[in-house]
Amino acid sequence: MLQVNHIRENKQEFINALKKRNFEAEDIFEEVLQLDDKRRATQVKLDDVLAESNRLSKQIGMMFKNGEHQKANLIKEKTGNLKEDSKALSEELSETVAKLETLLYTIPNVPHKSVPAGTSEEDNEEIFKEGDVPVLAEGSLPHWELAKKYDIIDFELGNKVTGAGFPVYKGKGARLQRALITYFLDKAIDAGYTEYQLPLMINEASGLGTGQLPDKEGQMYHITADDLYMIPTAEVPMTNMYRDRLLIDKDFPIACTGYTPCFRREAGSYGAHVRGLNRLHQFDKVELVRIEKPEDSYAALDNMVAHIKDILIDLKLPYRILRLCGGDLGFTAALTYDFEVFSTAQDRWLEISSVSNFETFQANRLKLRYKNKEGKKELVHTLNGSALALPRVLAGILENYQTEDGIKIPDVLVPYTGFNLID
């Protein structure tokens, strides 16, 4: 959520920047500022009424003490009117604040100056590519056929038990999945991240805090009886651990990691691009979250990008990095880098990670601040990244490492799997 004072101070700059997202902000900013003016004026009136009421209450107390009962009762009538005024003003203030907050929830984050303009993923900017695409033998298979051939993932059984998008991992498939999770966590811990085990359900306040609500409500599984939501990513509970916190200098840097299943209702369209592991309703992911002072956040973002690069180099998977354009940028992000691995059998790039800096956008919703060296309270910057989302990493390994003898296991994972070939 944007800060109103920042909108007021940078109105035209924000209007121009949001055009990169194809978001016309001029009218909504005007409404925001009008509501904020009304909020301020109402607050001043309410403060004046409350101050006068307090002054008269003290005066009445002194009069009763001095035996001036008649005068005290006359003034008491006036305080009754002031109470009615304060009640009306309080209601008006609450209504204005609610309207203002609702309006602010509809405005996306202002893109970083490096974000290119664009309308869709076609306009994303490739900034880095590494790794050689393997040459596969004739007749090489996509991962969903490999999974069936080697009996390591059962999509039909998952469909029977739950529905489409809920695969069942079996035997060496389950062990490879577990190996990837442990390897990703070990890499994060070695890089200085603290591991957390997190709830898989969140309340509404947590969804609002990180921006999943109200923007992505239709994509989340809602448990109506308890008014809880299944998490779409570990980012949500992990970042909300710091909701309503005031941090101090020695708390930084804050680097968290955790593995969770993730749940998303919206799984995209039908067709080859969503077959197998390409898009699921339930999938596993190891997440990174950082909370930084504003002056340190972009160095932290670069550090996260380097961390994911290192993992993909270890796995020997060909990958590229995209800087997302305004039209493809997530609602809460100021800058996002997407990592994609190349699936040789599918002859296409598969997104396997997004790394984002939200600047103060989430922190403003979370009321997450720190006290700087001058003793002033400021909003922090929040960042998150997948390191990594497992389904498409697993798909890339199965397809790119397939041989006539079976599927080789990347060397770095063999100590975790206990085997070097799926056959």
pLDDT in tens, 212-250: 998 777 889 999 999 999 999 999 999 999 999 999 999
Mean pLDDT score of the chain: 94
The pLDDT value recorded for residue 271 is 52
Q: State which fold the 121-422 domain adopts.
A: BirA Bifunctional Protein; domain 2 (3.30.930)
Work out the percent of the chain whose per-residue pLDDT is above 70: 98
4-106 and 121-422 have identical folds: no
The pLDDT value recorded for residue 397 is 96
265 is in an annotated binding site: yes
On the CB side of 84, CA atoms within 13 Å amount to: 5
In contact, 167 and 280? CB cutoff 8 Å: yes
353 is in an annotated binding site: yes
Q: Is the pLDDT of residue 77 over 80?
A: no
In contact, 294 and 378? CB cutoff 8 Å: yes
266 is in an annotated binding site: yes
354 is in an annotated binding site: yes
Confidence of residue 164 (pLDDT cuts 50, 70, 90): very high
pTM of the full predicted structure? 0.92
351 is in an annotated binding site: yes
Could you name the CATH architecture of 4-106? Orthogonal Bundle (1.10)
The pLDDT value recorded for residue 101 is 95
Q: Where are the domains of the chain?
A: 4-106, 121-422
195 is in an annotated binding site: no
- Distance (Å, whole) CA 336 – CA 355: 6
The pLDDT value recorded for residue 139 is 87
Lowest mean pLDDT among 79-83, 113-117, 384-388: 79-83
189 is in an annotated binding site: no
Q: Is the pLDDT of residue 401 over 50?
A: yes
Q: Is the pLDDT of residue 409 over 80?
A: yes
The pLDDT value recorded for residue 60 is 78
295 is in an annotated binding site: no
Q: Is the pLDDT of residue 345 over 50?
A: yes
In contact, 11 and 29? CB cutoff 8 Å: yes
Residues 292-323 pLDDT 10s: 999 999 999 999 999 999 999 999 999 999 99
